[in-house]
Structure 1
Amino acid sequence: MLERLNEEKVFKDPVHRYIHVRYRLIWELIGTKEFQRLRRVNQLGTTYLTFHGAEHSRFSHSLGVYEIVRRINEIFSQYESWDEENRLLSMCAALLHDVGHGPFSHSFEKVFNLDHEDFTRMIILGDTEINQVLRKVSEGFPEEVADVIAKTHTNKLVVSLISSQIDADRMDYLLRDAYFTGVSYGHFDIERILRVMRPGGDQIVIKQSGMHAVEDYIMSRYQMYWQVYFHPVTRSAEVILSKILHRAKKLYAEGYAFKQEPVHFYSLFKEDISLEDFLKLDDSVVKFYFQIWQEEDDAILRDLCERFMNRRLFKYVEFNPMQMNTWRELYDSFKEAGIDPDYYLEMDSSSDLPYDFYRPGEEEERLPIHLLKPGGDLRELSRESEVVEAISGKKRTDHKLYFPQDLILEGTSDATRRIKSLLNL
């Protein structure tokens, strides 16, 4: 029998009001140094430069996902098929699903060829406090938790609570990100959705009567991606962040003498980072280097860091990637004007598939959302909902070109005049 705390612990939360912890195991996991590190990792990367309220951490999001799964467990506990093993496994996986994220996670992953899922697995299975706590359940329990997060566990129902087209992770981040960015479109009736969720064999199913709440959730997700996650100003900051990392990596490879040795980045630059080094990284460490690199001798690194720290971001224009002749001419003109196009010209694409039905053989197969009819039959959501049918399977892609408008407007050469003409400045 799982040990309960003598007294329930609660966290006051702006999204779920209270987060309840009743099991000692969960309480001990929250207290580990690997989990506490998430307080120092921003949930939304560079978004705070667009929406100033978006300062919330991966710690608060992870607690929120745990709380949603805890509440689903309360609903599912009335079903014989949902036992204590499922309850414990799902709550631990929910709490730890993001534990491998680093600072500005997605930018770091692209530049240094990392994968946060690898680090999540290493933290759960490695020589860590989290592993020690999980092993109190059984020797094989850390592996089970890691498998649920990696979507390879044989219990597909538990996996679907953490990772599916309507899971606890998405529900929390949509509500939490909407709250902290101050936008209105990420809200949906989570209480209603939780009340109509049912365990359906290999995945969660939704009672037919809850269809409209699910439509609202899918539209919220669609709006949040285009209005918040893919906001062009946020993307501009991300472009500069990536360029800083690329520049620092290149300088290191060339033997450049940094005024302040970037010791926290050495193993990253070598693309051979240990778990111990990874766990030392958080937002404050990265921003410390960006702050002091504003005084470096290298003009590009200095300028990019100054732009990032003081929010002097790149401007953008819509750009069709088919215009490769224009791209080539722009690239050459930037070079001619003495503005290095490798650091000051970037084509960035965003794309999202708000909902998809099952299509076998696709690279990323998405399990569709199923509605449970009163007679017990299951129907795929887009066959019942005209709203979802209208957007399902439709991938929207957006392309923008980012550049430092101030440098171009200051220029008086033929090359800068050509750039102004090509960008319609």
Structure 2
Amino acid sequence: MGYSAEKLSEEKVFKDPVHRYVHVRDRVIWDLIGTREFQRLRRIKQLGTTYLTFHGAEHSRFNHSLGVYEIIRRIVDDVFRDRAEWDEEERLLSLCAALLHDLGHGPFSHSFEKVFDLDHENFTQEIILGDTEVNKVLSRVHASFPKKVAEVIGKTYKNKLVISLISSQIDADRMDYLQRDAYFTGVSYGHFDMERILRVMRPREDQVVIKQSGMHAVEDYIMSRYQMYWQVYFHPVTRSAEVILTKILHRAKDLYKQSYSFKHDPIHFYSLFEEKVTLEDYLKLDEAIILFYFQMWESEEDTVLSDLCKRFMNRNLFKYVEFDPAKEYKKLSELSSLFMKAGLDPEYYLVVDSSSDLPYDFYRPGEEEERLPIHLLMKNGEIRELSRESEIVDSISGKRRTDHKLYFPDDLLQDDTSKKNIKKQIRALLEI
């Protein structure tokens, strides 16, 4: 029996608050979980700075990755088994890609990526294809197996059905994070009937389709996603924390380029600042490392870096007001000028942040961010795009919602003797 077919002598089980149990029977999956690269995900939060808004949101990318694996395991072992359209040889590839899909996330994920112009999917593929423990485990299946897993992650694998299980508008990734994030944040929005959706999934050549009888469960899933984005993922307090986090990283990078002498040398950041990040450098980064530096930088002589770090570590976040940059650009310019006069650098202390979401879109060839639609399998065998059948989904299809906020340190705008009049003008403009 080859490594790819090797089973554990006894099934391993992880207890899980969302799926109750995560079942592992395949030797390759168990070995992947034990690699240093996968264990690193325990030290990266699934929701970044959200724990500063919802105190329960301390769960990790490790939790989520196991959850996505478990959903895919149920699909390929229970729902798709013995169906003509499903190639059983793709089973292990689907399981490995599900488990490893978030392997390249860095600390505080998306905020971190923006500052240093990184892409976690590229790093995921690098880890899978590079000189890593993960690569050694995957290579035992077959010499070409790591390449196949990387192709699924990169959405270039020849079997589009396998890709759609992990990355589409109704995939295992979203089905896990909506429920998991709802559980740990304590909100009710992210719950939907996953059991029903799994029961009505059917494999087709290019993607999963949903039986017509399951349409209402899918409507519920899409509305859950919509609510989670606006009530949790785009929460203005979380965004305030992200703004400060981003500005800390920008400030440290700027100071490094100015040859500033740090009291606590940011050795883990050197390759990031110099834009020469190796895979080994990247794998040494996790949120414990980042928070260590933030704590050390609280005592830096640079007042901006010190202040921002204290704010983040002690949750003294920026206040916010509604703001439309398209209509209020003159006000922003005026505020920037007043901030400078008040001794506050607007680059770090006056920040416009925008959030935007498209809850569901149908396929529009050639457009940016092409999306495969969700298809329904009608009783007569016809395939129909979801929004053509669902009035609920049709009402939100293609409708992008955007929200803008202006963030600033309210505590530094309180009246004082030296800049009293200027700060009064700022507060009047901000209408606070």
Q: TM-score range by the shorter chain?
A: over 0.9
Residue equivalent to 2:278: 274
Residue equivalent to 2:156: 152
Residue equivalent to 1:413: 420
Residue 371 in structure 1 maps to residue 376 in structure 2: yes
Alpha-carbon separation, structure 2, partners of 1:282 and 1:85: 35
Structure 1 segment 35-50 matched on structure 2, within 5 A: 35-50=38-53
Contact 1:42 1:103 in 2 (8 A): yes
Q: Structure 1: which amino acid aligns with 2:43?
A: R
Alpha-carbon separation, structure 1, partners of 2:382 and 2:312: 54
Match for 1:229 among 230, 233, 257? 233
Residue 106 in structure 1 maps to residue 113 in structure 2: no
Alpha-carbon separation, structure 2, partners of 1:388 and 1:84: 33
Match for 1:27 among 23, 26, 30? 30
Alpha-carbon separation, structure 2, partners of 1:132 and 1:82: 28
Match for 1:215 among 219, 241, 246? 219
SS of residue in 1 equivalent to 2:141: coil
SS of residue in 2 equivalent to 1:260: coil
Residue 295 in structure 1 maps to residue 260 in structure 2: no
Contact 2:324 2:404 in 1 (8 A): yes
Cα drift, residue 81 of structure 1 = 3.4
SS of residue in 2 equivalent to 1:416: helix
Cα drift, residue 359 of structure 1 = 1.3
Q: Structure 2: which amino acid aligns with 1:24?
A: R
Q: State which drifts further: 80-89 or 372-381.
A: 80-89
Alpha-carbon separation, structure 1, partners of 2:84 and 2:141: 22
Alpha-carbon separation, structure 2, partners of 1:91 and 1:29: 11
1:158-200 deviation line (CA, Å, top 9, x unaligned): 0000000000000000000000000000000000000000001
Cα drift, residue 271 of structure 1 = 1.2
Residue 55 in structure 1 maps to residue 58 in structure 2: yes
Residue 423 in structure 1 maps to residue 430 in structure 2: yes
TM-score by length of 1: 0.99
Match for 1:341 among 333, 343, 346? 346
Alpha-carbon separation, structure 1, partners of 2:112 and 2:381: 47
Contact 1:77 1:83 in 2 (8 A): no
Q: Structure 1: which amino acid aligns with 2:224?
A: S
Residue 387 in structure 1 maps to residue 392 in structure 2: yes
Q: State which drifts further: 370-379 or 222-231.
A: 370-379
Q: Structure 1: which amino acid aligns with 2:232?
A: V
Q: Structure 2: which amino acid aligns with 1:413?
A: K
TM-score by length of 2: 0.97
1:98-142 deviation line (CA, Å, top 9, x unaligned): 000010011111111111111101100000000000001111110
Alpha-carbon separation, structure 1, partners of 2:372 and 2:116: 31
Contact 2:415 2:424 in 1 (8 A): no
Contact 1:358 1:365 in 2 (8 A): yes
1:12-50 deviation line (CA, Å, top 9, x unaligned): 000000000010000000000000000000000000000
Cα drift, residue 77 of structure 1 = 1.1
SS of residue in 2 equivalent to 1:93: helix
- Runs ≥4 in structure 1, deviation > 4 angstroms? none
Cα drift, residue 375 of structure 1 = 1.5
Q: Structure 1: which amino acid aligns with 2:386?
A: L
Structure 1 segment 52-131 matched on structure 2, within 5 A: 52-74=55-77, 75-131=79-135
Q: Structure 1: which amino acid aligns with 2:205?
A: G
Alpha-carbon separation, structure 1, partners of 2:204 and 2:210: 9
Cα drift, residue 253 of structure 1 = 0.8
Alpha-carbon separation, structure 1, partners of 2:262 and 2:107: 22
Residue 133 in structure 1 maps to residue 133 in structure 2: no
Could you tell me which runs of 5 or more consecutive residues in structure 1 were left unpaired when the two chains were aligned. Answer: none
Residue 285 in structure 1 maps to residue 289 in structure 2: yes
Contact 2:85 2:205 in 1 (8 A): no
Residue equivalent to 2:9: 6
Alpha-carbon separation, structure 1, partners of 2:109 and 2:401: 23
SS of residue in 1 equivalent to 2:14: strand
1:220-243 deviation line (CA, Å, top 9, x unaligned): 000000000000000000000000
Residue equivalent to 1:351: 356
Q: Structure 1: which amino acid aligns with 2:358?
A: L
Structure 1 segment 131-210 matched on structure 2, within 5 A: 131-210=135-214
Residue equivalent to 1:17: 20
Q: How many equivalent pairs are there?
A: 425
Alpha-carbon separation, structure 1, partners of 2:88 and 2:390: 35
SS of residue in 1 equivalent to 2:83: coil
Match for 1:401 among 403, 406, 410? 406
Residue equivalent to 1:311: 315
1:273-315 deviation line (CA, Å, top 9, x unaligned): 1100100000100000001111111100000000000000000
Alpha-carbon separation, structure 2, partners of 1:353 and 1:219: 12
Alpha-carbon separation, structure 2, partners of 1:85 and 1:343: 53
Alpha-carbon separation, structure 2, partners of 1:81 and 1:213: 23
